[in-house]
Chains A and B, each alone.
Chain A
Amino acid sequence: MRINRLAGILSLATMAAVLPVSCNGGNGNNSSNSNTGSGDEPELIDYAAQAKLNLEYEEKNFLDVGVGEVTVQMYIDGDTTHFIELDKRQVDARYANINTPESTADIQKWGKSASLFVQDKLESASTIVLTNPTMREEAPEHDDNQRWLSLIWYATVESPTLDDFRCLNLEIVQEGYSAITGMESYYPFYDIFHDAQKQAQDNRLHIFAPDTVVDPNYYVGEAAEISIEEFNKNAAKYAGKKVHMTGIVSTFMGVQSVWVESVSDDGSIWGVYLFTGYSGNAKPLFKVGNMVEFTGAVTEFNGDYQITDLQYNQYFPTEDDVVLISENNPVPSASQVAPSSQVLAGDFNVNTTVTLSDDLVVTRGWGGTDEIDPDTGVNYANNAITLWCTNPEGEDVQVYMPNGAMLRGDDGMLIHSWTYFEGKTLSNLHGVIDSYNGRYSLQLLSTNDVTISATETVA
């Protein structure tokens, strides 16, 4: 939106004089202001206090009727959070009508700050309610990534009334963490959102601030030149910062997951996981055996550290772009051929690949989109499959196929249920070593990673 300086000053002065409402809203929520100019900061109108939740939510489920109470399952970023409904169904909520800067696969200025702002607000909440952005009791719509478009309402007092709720989407706009996107003019809060956005623009909050304003959560320093071994040993030290590493691509899944390895002086093999988003732009990363240099941000996800914000554009190259050094290099961990007991014992490092020399028999499992989630009574939301197997030593070995792994059955079509594997023998297993709660497991990424056969019964 065009900022007309004179008009901006006049309108702000008028607003402040006529409606001197502080942004310290009804729930004690503080508004920050990144305008570092004169120090004579104007009072801002708390537009988030003007939008009222007017739908009864108790004992309703958002996915059915477009309004319902939820709890947080996982914070993703400034405009996406995973919630759980009262009936245990998972709701991957995409905050409607906003688009905060990125803080996952790509890292952008104000992205992490927006993400922390959302987390701070929801952690302070006693009650969280999702509504359809139309504010009608009608089933919600999802975006192309199967995320449900929602307004997120939260209250910080116990036993809240409807008046106690604040609209987090609106608060994000009011704070200048996002411009409004794709908002239909018939939505009930259309004007309030636009007034809040104008105020954020006029006051140059966060994304509307001049380039000289520093985002304390956005790293702008040089990338630290480190080895993959150093990353594995001291990842927390680099969290939030940029690192530069070199290694050989060992495997990848789709266009969003890449594993890179290197060998240390003592011969040990180390691996790192790169989350590359969904564009497939960083082409040198998507060929096994490529030796690459890459610069990325160290981020934490589900307790593990990973590299994100990989850059590559052959038409507008930058110094942080992924660089292809050489092709057709042997993958260091190709030498890791061992029985599964060695994987369980932690003989190999996580995020390296291993080929199992023994067979596993599937005893139980869960997951796959054809299966019903016993917690919710509906189909699993994604195709992740977990198998519990026994090895010849009688040990339990966990084999995991993440959502996005492409394993085909006998008919050539994708497998959508763990039961396809039930009782069968898995041979020629090759995958990436993972660790969760101190227990090692094997991730399979494609049909080529396993031979599936009927288990021979012993007479």
Chain B
Amino acid sequence: MRITKRIATALLVVASTGLSACQGIGDDDGHNVVFWVSGGNATTDLINNTLVPMFREEYAAEMPEDLEITVLSQGDYNGLYDAVSKAIPAGTTPTMAVAYPDHAASYVASNALVDINTFINDEEMTFTAEEGGGAEDFVKAFWDEGKNISGQEGLYTVPLYKSTEVMYFNRSYFHEHNLKIPTTWDELIEVARTIHDSNPEYWDKPEHYPVIWDSDSNLFITHAYQMGYGYTDPSQTGNPFIFNNEGNRNFVKELKGYYDDHLFATKGSLGGQYSSSFLTNEQCIIAIGSTGGSTYNITPNFQLGIAPEPVFNTQNVAYIQQGPDVCFFRRSSETELEWGWRFYRFLTSTLTNYRICSTLSYNPVRYSSYELDQYQDYVSQYAAFVDEPMATDNEGNLLHVDSNNMGLQSMVAYQTQKIVQANQLFYSPAFLGSAEARGDETTGVGNVIAGTLTFTGSDIDGQIMNLMNVAVNNALMAYTE
């Protein structure tokens, strides 16, 4: 089936009235759907070797014989962002790409993206009931994140699979030392101090910290959100980057003290190493990281536990939403866009999305996926270990998940389902400069934390203010470009 004339016309109208005359579609009739993704070989292997053949088989009767589907990894999220940012002016964008809404904001500003409503509003191209139905079946917070990016009306990204953060912990250590699972930030630091003080010689070694939080930027943003200190506010058009405030600065200074006491570290302060390697090596006891990376924590050496990330404000419990969306680039042929969009629909159909997410340890984007019997079987298998992580047998021995924590993915899925059901996910608005404000452990607010923790000078307040100013200025530069 060809893209309908209505869509083609709509897209061409957008192209001709858009910001950039050189952007458009239909200037050739390419038949190669190119999908840029992030992540390692596991993701590209799954898509290339399994999902593309399944898609081809399902649509064999309608698909042009010469249609190619090329899936290429562009490294991590930042590498992908950089590659797309370069491809836009060069005119070499793919058909579709994995994208964070933060990143998509700059693509929108370059007039490079298709308004996905164009597909959805076309009766021949929209979601089918067999796929799970339309927008109403997508988890609301996941779907809404792609709306009105940079304040522009339209839908520019749609969710592929999602994740949030949870607390992984050495359940065996907690049992042996009779520790209480922390639910708040204060309790977390209290537990960290108890662990440290039980064996200071061990915990004062380099790269040994009882608690490690992976994402410096997520830590900053989550704290600011829960405490109401403010992070970004796109309604403030002069300077929407409001994170350089006293509440946030005090928090960063507090972290510095815990880091110096060898209680707490972040991925950024550890040279970019993920907490999972420290947890499995017993160089930390509590690791707070993405649900998407849960399998990296698997170890046969002790029993693992899962719990919600400790909160800063019990009156405003909210966990950051992450994981990739997909966007579509206007500089593609009609055929490529049509089949790229169909491929997205296939990837997010109820059953397929459940299977992808269960394979890659992510969370489905459709309510109907969560309601599948298979998914409920999957998440309920080890639910008791999440609900009562310190349960023991009659003799006081800790109950084991299995010999080497192979049930971890299921436990994480169960915990995340509870968060989704409780509507406890949040995201920060995407607009020009928001990607730069977030940054990673070497830029943006992430660098404010990492650069403060590893600071060896005496003027900590000055260092924090300096890093805050750098982060604000870099974001403002992108905002005003």
Contacts and interface: CB of A to CB of B under 8 A. Distances in A.
Contact of A179 (B74, B300, B355, B356): B74
B273 A3 contact: no
A99 B37 CA distance: 14
A280 B370 CA distance: 24
B298 interface: yes
Interface string A397-421: 0000000001000011110000000
Interface in B75-96: 75-76, 78-79, 82-83, 85-87, 92-95
A2 B32 contact: yes
A313 interface: yes
A315 B41 contact: no
A176 to B, nearest CB: 12
B72 A411 contact: no
A412 B356 CA distance: 39
B285 to A, nearest CB: 11
A25 interface: no
A446 B94 CA distance: 49
Contacts of A216: none
Interface stretch (B105-113, B274-282, B469-477): B274-282
B271 A142 contact: yes
Contacts, number: 117
Q: Which of A102, A144, A283 has the most CB of B within 10 A?
A: A144
Contact of B300 (A6, A254, A279): A254
Interface in B344-367: 354-356, 358-359
A313 B359 contact: yes
Contacts of B296: 278
B272 A141 contact: yes
Interface stretch (A116-124, A181-189, A436-444): A181-189
Interface string A277-313: 0111101001110000000000000000000000001
> Contact size class for A?
35 or more
Given A4-B30, A286-B300, A316 B359 contact: yes
B91 to A, nearest CB: 9
Given A313-B359, A413-B202, A179 B404 contact: no
Contacts of A314: 358
B300 A144 contact: no
B30 A2 contact: yes
Nearest to B203: A413
Contacts of A4: 28, 30
A237 B117 CA distance: 58
A254 B282 contact: no
Contacts of B40: 99
A144 B274 contact: yes
A182 B72 CA distance: 13
B332 interface: yes
Contacts of B359: 313, 315-316
Interface stretch (B4-12, B42-50, B230-238, B247-255): B42-50
Nearest to A446: B301
Given A316-B355, A446-B301, A3 B32 contact: yes
B82 A185 contact: yes
A244 interface: no
Given A254-B300, A286-B300, A5 B295 contact: no
B41 A106 contact: yes
A327 to B, nearest CB: 12
Q: Which of B40, B78, B82 has the most CB of A within 10 A?
A: B82
B41 A99 contact: yes
B118 interface: no
A102 to B, nearest CB: 6
B48 to A, nearest CB: 10
Contacts of A142: 271
Contact of A144 (B82, B95, B273): B273
A108 B73 contact: no
A99 B75 contact: yes
Contacts of A18: none
Given A1-B92, A279-B42, A280-B298, A6 B281 contact: no
Contacts of A12: none
> Contact size class for B?
35 or more
Interface in B262-305: 271-274, 277, 280-282, 295-296, 298-301
Contacts of A414: 281-282
B326 to A, nearest CB: 16
A78 B271 CA distance: 25
A144 B272 contact: yes
Contact of B41 (A97, A101, A185): A101
A184 B42 CA distance: 23
B45 A280 contact: no
A1 B34 contact: yes
A106 B92 CA distance: 31
Contacts of A101: 41
A184 B92 contact: no
B45 A108 contact: yes
B124 to A, nearest CB: 24
B321 to A, nearest CB: 23
Contacts of B403: 286-288
A281 to B, nearest CB: 7
Contacts of B94: 1-2
Interface string A247-284: 00000101100000000000000000000001111010
Nearest to A181: B75
Contacts of A180: 74-75, 83
A397 to B, nearest CB: 26
A286 B406 contact: yes
Contacts of A7: 28
Nearest to A277: B42
Interface in A300-336: 313-316
Given A2-B32, A414-B282, A102 B74 contact: no
A263 B186 CA distance: 57
Given A5-B30, A286-B406, A144 B79 contact: no
Contacts of A185: 82, 85-86
Nearest to B46: A316
A286 B404 contact: yes
Contacts of A108: 41, 45
Contacts of B355: 315-316
Nearest to B273: A144
B73 A279 contact: no
A197 to B, nearest CB: 10
Contacts of B65: none
A252 B202 contact: no
B72 A1 contact: yes
A424 interface: no
Contacts of A183: 75, 79, 82
Given A184-B82, A254-B300, A280-B404, 12 more contacts: A1-B87, A1-B94, A2-B32, A5-B28, A5-B30, A106-B41, A106-B45, A142-B271, A181-B74, A254-B280, A316-B359, A414-B282
23 contacts: A1-B72, A1-B87, A3-B30, A141-B271, A142-B271, A180-B83, A181-B73, A181-B75, A182-B78, A185-B85, A254-B299, A280-B298, A280-B406, A286-B300, A286-B403, A286-B406, A313-B359, A314-B358, A315-B358, A411-B199, A412-B176, A413-B199, A414-B281
